[in-house]
Structure 1
Amino acid sequence: MKAEHKFKRLDTKVFIISFLVITMIFFGISKIIIYSIREYYFSRMQEDSINFAKSYSYSLSKAAEAKDVVNELLEEKLLVASRAIALYDGQYSNQLLKELADILKVDEIAYYNAQGEIIYSNVDAMVGWKAYEGHLFYDFMMSEQASYIAPIKQDSKTGKYFKYAYFKISDDRFLEIGVKSEKIYNFLGSFEIRKLLDEIQEVEGVAKVFFIDNQFNITRSSKTHFDENKIITPEIRNAIYGNREYSYISTYDEEKEYQAFVPVYLENIKNLENIKIGTLAIGQSLREAEEIIKNLTGVILVALLIIYALLIYIMISTYQKNEKLIHLAYYDGLTGLPNEHYLKEILTKELEKNEKARRALLLINCKNFRMINMTYGYDYGDEILKELTKRIQNLEDGSKILFRFSADRFALFMKHYSDQQELVSVVNKIIKAFKDPFKVKNVEQNINVEIGIVEIHNKYDHSDRILKDVSIALSGVKENDAGYAFFNKVMENKLQREDLIEKEIRAAITENDTSKIYLEYQPQVDLKSNKITGFEALARMRTKKLGFVSPMEFIDVAEKKQLIVPLGNFILTQASEFIRDLTDKGFKDIKVAVNVSGIQLLRYDFTDTIMKIISDTGIEPSSLELEITESVLLGNYNMINEKLKNLRNHQIEIALDDFGTGYSSFARLIELNIDTLKIDRYFINNISIKDSGDIITGDIISMAHKLGLKVVAEGVEVPEQKNYLMGHHCDRMQGYLFSKPLSKEKALKMLFNQNK
């Protein structure tokens, strides 16, 4: 059990799990962020690459369109010129052709015979030139075509760029028309695919560019060694075939590239359809991108590491702080022992186990420790507690654990003991440990202990009930001399009854309910005149819940629960109201005696309270007599005697009750501020049972008279006692021989009858 309960700490599993969770979250977030950065950057790069490729694919499309438009215009011009020249068939001459060339704005007109020789031309140098095999005109002449327009090419005769058109006029005659295309050729050259690819290649970050035809052949490339290669990658081929944009990361010469493939279309104005002429592929180096991603990832990882380190620091700090808080919450700072909260937790866990093992709780009370604190100070008391703890801790073992329960109380939890005798043996060891005095700062102190014991059975369902029962057991220690007590049901019933009595007393005082707590009045009779000279007010308690409660019981509860002062004032007020009734009915000389406790007398405002009650009820102070017992004088004689003097100065008489049973002596009576001496019933009873020579009651009466005190005999029950008292000149008597205590109404009725 010591291993189980000795040290209460935070569950490190929770901390470790939290640490692992945070670490996993950290790495997870790091991975997600890094992946997101790469994905974001690559997606942007993909978008930029596609857009970049699209922009140049547009240029390629427009270049192809421009070339077609220029070609169409040139062809249209050549066709128009051919129709005009054909009108002069049979009239051709060098001069005519020169004139027609100027009119039609063409550069060359040549008339061929059936052998392919130029007969007439606007260019004199060309007359007599004969077409040879392999020449475009020769191929046309040998064909069955009526006309043919050739693409722009370099003329074999002059070395200049021309666009020629050939027409068959008859079976043996041909017409050639040529337009100089040097400038046009240079202009269209700017739209050549290779030039555009070279231009793209010059853009920063572009690694390579190539153009792919619809048969997956690389027809043009910024890297010439790629020309005439064929695309074999299935994903790229599928994208080209499906006319889709496509991008992916590839590695070439150990360097990563981001390649984008964008289809290139030629707008066909005639049939309003776009004709795909190929696919533009652009590869961009990822070196810079990878560097940016690496740097950005590094920055983010550093930030995350700082956050992670901060979180771990907070966790460790929180763990350490919680450890301190747990120690503060569950351990006593002075002795280092586990405290009441820890005890409750252990008791709760033990009850949850529902074991058959025998368990018990011992509550150890240091009876005079508070007095030591008040006498020597709290620092001295703390040192005593440390020494005291060391002695009790010697009893700890695997089946016992010691707690500091409160300022002057300790608790010892026991488990696996054999029987009650073993518990008693442990209790005796504790009591023995306190036998030797504690020496602190060269001052020896004896600590008196009392121990309450409760055995923990399965009937208990809550730790508070166990603590309540052990406290009840502790309160029952004073009823025996053993120094310890086991809890039993009688103790609990007694405590519950005391609690109910306390509630009823409080209710009566708060509600001014004289039906619950009321007064009865026992007459005091003058032994000479046999008339009533006064009454003693006796407090009684009767409630619906409790029935009749003896004065000894409810007065004891009132003293325990610090209710004796308000209860005493409540009784004094009732007695004063009775005096007022007596006065109103003409009995001004009748005194009413009321018992007051030592606690009331010790209050600094006691005299003021008495005088206020007298003032509020409108009675004469001389009609009130206060009774005190001899025990009240112990320890506070001078202070109380001074208060009695003050009360007498206010015309309030003082009676010493139960004389002869306490510690007063006639020597002390000489200086005591009292007016009346009440002889205890013990001495009155002796009158009937002892020989006359052994009875000292008469001596007491005689000595009291010599001191100037009046004498009242209590408990007179038989005529023999009355006769003795009369023979020894006792002033008054009180007892069942004359009357039992009476209600206010009956007391008034008896007073009317007796004092006629």
Structure 2
Amino acid sequence: MLLSNLPGMAYRCRLDRQWTMEFVSEGCRELTGYSPEDLVENKTLSYNDVIAPEYRESVWDSWDKNLAGREPYRGEYEIITASGARKWVLETGQFVLNDEGAVEALEGIIIDITRRKQYEYRLKHIIEHDALTGLPNRIYFEKLLGQNRSRGAANSAVVLVELNHLNALTLSYGYAFNEQIVMEAASRLKSLVTEGRQVFQVSPERMAFYMPGCAMEEPFLLCNEIAAVLSPVPMIHAAGCGLGVLNFTGPDKDGDEILKNASIAAACGGMKGTFGVCVFDGEMEAKAERERIIKDEIIASSLDGERSSIFAEFQPIVDLKTGRIRSFEALARMRGPRLGLVPPVEFISLAEELQLIVPLGKRILASACVFLGELKRAGFGYVSCSVNVSALELVRDNFLGDFLTALRERDIPASSLCLEVTESLVAFNFDLINRKLGELRRMGAAVSLDDFGTGQSSFFRARDLNVDYLKIAKDFTDRISASSRSRLVTGDIISMAHKLGYRVIAEGVEHEEQRQYLADHGCDYFQGFLFSRPVPQEEALELVRITNLP
């Protein structure tokens, strides 16, 4: 009675390859569709016949492995019922020993776990597939990559498809429109799946084909196929589509690195136009590694205020009439332990990409305030200092508060600071930024429009700006040394700026001829290597002593 009420099937069998049954409980009917009599002594069929063929050897091997230590058995496998249906079962059993310690029989119970397995498969599918497109996702890709790596698959490739401008389209048309493009692209790319290549949704805007053991030309043939199936979709062209090819061999790269490098190549391909193809090579890898090192150093500096890899140097701004230093520009510099001196054009754009330009800007502002304090103590309190401000900094709600806090902490008057903004920054959100510039001026700070003439500003727009200075871009300074017609443009900028009430600073002055032309045309100040390159604080103080003392 007790055994008949047990879930599943209780049994006693011999240790042979047929699992010859000596006793089977009544639960056998519900589990297998066979009666106990069918299985006992293999009357109709053996229990080994009930086990699905692909599991028979592994079940025997598992029992055999446990035999030496007489350890209990626990295993999951599939059986085939009398109706032909498959069921997952869990078997737990143990060895029955005689007085001499020899195995007399096996006893255990087998229960149906099909519903649990179905739930596990559904959960596994959810985990390993993209909810929108149904494609296998990055988790599945890395799992498959690991399996192939263990088998030693060589000459593999990834072809990554990146919809470059998808985020911009989302801002214009919404998420539903974005999702339609992704689903259409995924549907068309599925048609290119073969036995030798699988497609994965590795991020919302990226799909990747994995081609283990492929010939070297196959990824490029696939790129042609991708272009052919996606080209008829008009919005794919609007979204932009770059193709990145990464060839790799051996187990030296993990899935994350492979996808990162393929994405770098796809971004490069996108710059060539829709369906542009770029292959990740050694040069690109070196560039990616350099960027990684720079980013690591930026992150470390943002977390450690005492780290000195990002610092300020100061370039003099000289009064053209008196020849004395009127101000300095605090310029961000980076010197890392691995790369040495890194050009600002490299690390500043990466800081913006990492959303860490704000702490970088705070560090340079603090350095400028320290420098102003030293100038004041040396008797040069009238010398001011400029700092550059990015759009990400200026549009922050607490930017003005942080600015005032930095000044108060070091007892620096706002009138000693000039904030430099670029034309592109002002164009980013003219009304908001111009309002903040007005508030800065009301606090006593000066404002300078940097690189004037290189962006989209005009004098018509500039007259409405809350700025005190226009800084002529180096391009216009360079024209002074060119033809007489080219240099007229620079002179006209100076004249028009003065008529609008602005003082003018010329950047990038490297030759005496340029300085003389600027002086003759009434330019107020100049800045450039002719006088001094950017220098550390102590050298800057010495320059002021030499230049400004009678």
Q: Mean alpha-carbon deviation: is it higher for 637-646 or for 564-573?
A: 637-646
* Residue identity in the other structure for 1:25: Y
Tell me the matched-pair count: 456
Verify the 8 A CA contact 1:434 1:447 in the aligned structure 2: no
TM-score by length of 1: 0.56
Task: Say if 1:721 and 1:471 are closer, same or farther in 2 by CA, change over 3 A.
Answer: same
2:150 equivalent in structure 1: 352
Verify the 8 A CA contact 1:338 1:403 in the aligned structure 2: yes
Work out whether 1:647 is the aligned partner of 2:440: yes
2:247 equivalent in structure 1: 455
RMSD: 2.9
1:518 equivalent in structure 2: 311
Task: Say if 1:732 and 1:455 are closer, same or farther in 2 by CA, change over 3 A.
Answer: same
* Residue identity in the other structure for 1:526: D
* Aligned counterparts of 1:325 and 1:26: Cα–Cα separation in 2: 35
2:474 equivalent in structure 1: 681
Work out whether 1:576 is the aligned partner of 2:372: no
Provide structure 2 residue ranges, at least 5 long, that are not aligned to the other structure: 1-7, 15-20, 27-89, 92-108
Deviations, residues 215-249 of structure 1 (Å, cap 9, x unaligned): xxxxxxxxxxxxxxxxxxxxxxxxxxxxxxxxxxx
2:162 equivalent in structure 1: 365
Task: Say if 1:516 and 1:445 are closer, same or farther in 2 by CA, change over 3 A.
Answer: closer
Work out whether 1:427 is the aligned partner of 2:419: no
What is the aligned counterpart of 2:178 among 381, 388, 400?
A: 381
* Aligned counterparts of 1:432 and 1:639: Cα–Cα separation in 2: 45
Q: Secondary structure at the match of 1:671?
A: coil
Q: Secondary structure at the match of 2:523?
A: coil
Verify the 8 A CA contact 2:481 2:487 in the aligned structure 1: no
Kindly state the Cα deviation for residue 525 of structure 1 after the two structures are TM-superposed: 1.0
1:737 equivalent in structure 2: 530
Output aligned runs, 1:472-511, within 5 Å.
472-474=264-266, 476-477=268-269, 483-511=276-304
Verify the 8 A CA contact 1:539 1:571 in the aligned structure 2: yes
* Aligned counterparts of 1:751 and 1:355: Cα–Cα separation in 2: 66
Task: Say if 1:459 and 1:347 are closer, same or farther in 2 by CA, change over 3 A.
Answer: closer
Q: Secondary structure at the match of 2:160?
A: strand
Work out whether 1:723 is the aligned partner of 2:521: no
Kindly state the Cα deviation for residue 569 of structure 1 after the two structures are TM-superposed: 0.8
Verify the 8 A CA contact 1:527 1:726 in the aligned structure 2: yes
Task: Say if 1:686 and 1:445 are closer, same or farther in 2 by CA, change over 3 A.
Answer: closer
Provide structure 1 residue ranges, at least 5 long, that are not aligned to the other structure: 1-21, 35-306
Work out whether 1:331 is the aligned partner of 2:129: yes
Verify the 8 A CA contact 1:537 1:593 in the aligned structure 2: yes
Kindly state the Cα deviation for residue 746 of structure 1 after the two structures are TM-superposed: 1.4
* Aligned counterparts of 1:511 and 1:453: Cα–Cα separation in 2: 38
Verify the 8 A CA contact 2:453 2:473 in the aligned structure 1: yes
1:470 equivalent in structure 2: 262
Task: Say if 1:413 and 1:32 are closer, same or farther in 2 by CA, change over 3 A.
Answer: closer
Q: Secondary structure at the match of 1:634?
A: helix
2:46 equivalent in structure 1: none
* Aligned counterparts of 2:229 and 2:445: Cα–Cα separation in 1: 53
* Residue identity in the other structure for 1:414: M
* Aligned counterparts of 2:117 and 2:506: Cα–Cα separation in 1: 76
What is the aligned counterpart of 2:191 among 394, 406, 429?
A: 394
Q: Secondary structure at the match of 2:247?
A: strand
Work out whether 1:559 is the aligned partner of 2:349: no
Q: Select the structure of larger CA radius of gyration.
A: 1
* Aligned counterparts of 2:152 and 2:307: Cα–Cα separation in 1: 50
Kindly state the Cα deviation for residue 437 of structure 1 after the two structures are TM-superposed: 4.6
Work out whether 1:661 is the aligned partner of 2:457: no
* Residue identity in the other structure for 2:310: I
* Residue identity in the other structure for 2:259: L
Task: Say if 1:323 and 1:484 are closer, same or farther in 2 by CA, change over 3 A.
Answer: same
Verify the 8 A CA contact 1:330 1:340 in the aligned structure 2: yes
Verify the 8 A CA contact 1:437 1:446 in the aligned structure 2: no
Kindly state the Cα deviation for residue 314 of structure 1 after the two structures are TM-superposed: 4.6
* Residue identity in the other structure for 2:427: L
Kindly state the Cα deviation for residue 468 of structure 1 after the two structures are TM-superposed: 4.0
Kindly state the Cα deviation for residue 553 of structure 1 after the two structures are TM-superposed: 1.6
Task: Say if 1:345 and 1:677 are closer, same or farther in 2 by CA, change over 3 A.
Answer: same
Deviations, residues 115-170 of structure 1 (Å, cap 9, x unaligned): xxxxxxxxxxxxxxxxxxxxxxxxxxxxxxxxxxxxxxxxxxxxxxxxxxxxxxxx
Task: Say if 1:710 and 1:411 are closer, same or farther in 2 by CA, change over 3 A.
Answer: same
Verify the 8 A CA contact 2:366 2:406 in the aligned structure 1: yes
2:238 equivalent in structure 1: 446
2:427 equivalent in structure 1: 634
Output aligned runs, 1:268-307, within 5 Å.
none
* Residue identity in the other structure for 1:747: A
TM-score by length of 2: 0.76
* Aligned counterparts of 1:639 and 1:434: Cα–Cα separation in 2: 41
Verify the 8 A CA contact 2:149 2:251 in the aligned structure 1: no
Q: Secondary structure at the match of 2:463?
A: helix
* Aligned counterparts of 1:316 and 1:753: Cα–Cα separation in 2: 88
* Residue identity in the other structure for 1:385: V
Kindly state the Cα deviation for residue 33 of structure 1 after the two structures are TM-superposed: 8.4
* Residue identity in the other structure for 2:393: Q
Q: Secondary structure at the match of 1:628?
A: strand
Task: Say if 1:341 and 1:603 are closer, same or farther in 2 by CA, change over 3 A.
Answer: same
* Aligned counterparts of 2:9 and 2:25: Cα–Cα separation in 1: 15
Q: Secondary structure at the match of 1:446?
A: helix
Task: Say if 1:693 and 1:326 are closer, same or farther in 2 by CA, change over 3 A.
Answer: closer
* Aligned counterparts of 2:394 and 2:309: Cα–Cα separation in 1: 25
Kindly state the Cα deviation for residue 650 of structure 1 after the two structures are TM-superposed: 1.4
* Residue identity in the other structure for 1:342: Y
* Aligned counterparts of 1:695 and 1:433: Cα–Cα separation in 2: 55
Verify the 8 A CA contact 1:534 1:591 in the aligned structure 2: yes
* Residue identity in the other structure for 2:523: C
Verify the 8 A CA contact 2:169 2:239 in the aligned structure 1: no
Deviations, residues 310-365 of structure 1 (Å, cap 9, x unaligned): x9875121122122122212222222211212211221222233245x43112222
What is the aligned counterpart of 1:409 among 198, 203, 206?
A: 206
Verify the 8 A CA contact 1:437 1:447 in the aligned structure 2: no
Q: Mean alpha-carbon deviation: is it higher for 691-700 or for 723-732?
A: 691-700
Q: Secondary structure at the match of 1:752?
A: helix
1:25 equivalent in structure 2: 11
Kindly state the Cα deviation for residue 590 of structure 1 after the two structures are TM-superposed: 1.3
Q: Mean alpha-carbon deviation: is it higher for 569-578 or for 329-338?
A: 329-338
* Residue identity in the other structure for 2:152: N
* Aligned counterparts of 2:482 and 2:237: Cα–Cα separation in 1: 48
Q: Mean alpha-carbon deviation: is it higher for 626-635 or for 661-670?
A: 626-635
Identity %: 37
* Residue identity in the other structure for 1:31: F
Q: Secondary structure at the match of 1:696?
A: helix
Task: Say if 1:366 and 1:588 are closer, same or farther in 2 by CA, change over 3 A.
Answer: same
Kindly state the Cα deviation for residue 613 of structure 1 after the two structures are TM-superposed: 1.1
* Residue identity in the other structure for 1:632: L
Verify the 8 A CA contact 2:242 2:268 in the aligned structure 1: no
